[in-house]
Amino acid sequence: MGLKAWDEKVHLAYTGREKRPIFDNFAVAFHAGMELRANVVYVPGLVDLDQVEAIAAWLATLGRDIPFHIIMGYIPVPGQPYTRPTEEQMTVAVERCRKHLAHVASSHLTSEQALDLSARDDRFAVKQIA
């Protein structure tokens, strides 16, 4: 499940929606016994390191074994001040989240790789069926 931001103002600015229903639904599903995984897109300056770590800390209140994936899926948009995280920033994010959770992974795609996910993962392959 994609969790967008911890801070309510950031979540509203990013998604146009309140965060509470999403996080509440995640917690209800977890407590109902569903096997869940969580991810967040790290966008320095918007969904910054503090947001990423706060989500990891919240997940840990449910269970330290929830898999958490930090994604560098942000592609810079002309006119926006946000940049892609560097390798160093991604390393720090993973290290800080591992203080809270046992299973933290990350992906740091180039812009070209992000635009052609089917080259890296066959779940994104387009197949003609008719």
CATH 3.40.50.720 fits 8-124, yes or no: no
Q: pLDDT tens across 56-95, in order?
A: 999 999 999 999 999 876 777 889 899 889 889 999 999 9
Q: Is residue 116 pLDDT above 80, yes or no?
A: no
According to the 3-state scheme, what is the secondary structure of the chain?
Answer: CECCCCCHHHHHHHHCCCCHHHHHHHHHHHHCCCCCCEEEECECCCECHHHHHHHHHHHHHHCCCCCEEEEECCCCCCCCCCCCCCHHHHHHHHHHHHCCCCCEEEEECCHHHHHCHHHCCHHHCCCCCC
Q: Is residue 16 pLDDT above 80, yes or no?
A: yes
pLDDT of residue 5: 96
Q: pLDDT tens across 30-43, in order?
A: 999 999 999 999 99
List the chain domain ranges: 8-124
